[in-house]
Amino acid sequence: MKKTELTAAVDACVEATRQALQTLWDSINQGQRKQLLKRPDIAQLLSRYGVETE
C-alpha cells in the first residue's frame, strides 16, 4: 500500500467515525450531553474528531 492510499484510507475512516459520533451526539438529549461532556476522555474524543457539541 502506497502512502497516498494509506492516507486516503485513514482520512475515510476518520470521517466515517466523525459522522457516526456526530449522529450519536445529535440523537441524545441535553441532559445526556451534559453528563458526557463532564467526562474528560469523552470530551477529548469528541474534540479530536471534530464533533460539534454546541
Read off the pLDDT of residues 28-41 as tens digits, 9 standing for 90 and up: 999 999 999 999 99
Angstrom distance (rounded) from CA 3 to CA 24: 31
pLDDT for residue 48 is more than 90: yes
Q: Is pLDDT above 90 for 54?
A: no
18 Cβ neighbours under 8 A, 6+ residues apart: 49, 50, 51
Please write the tens of the pLDDT for every residue from 9-30.
999 999 999 999 999 999 999 9
Long-range contacts made by residues 40-49, C-beta under 8 angstroms, separation at least 24?
45/21, 46/21, 49/14, 49/17, 49/18, 49/21
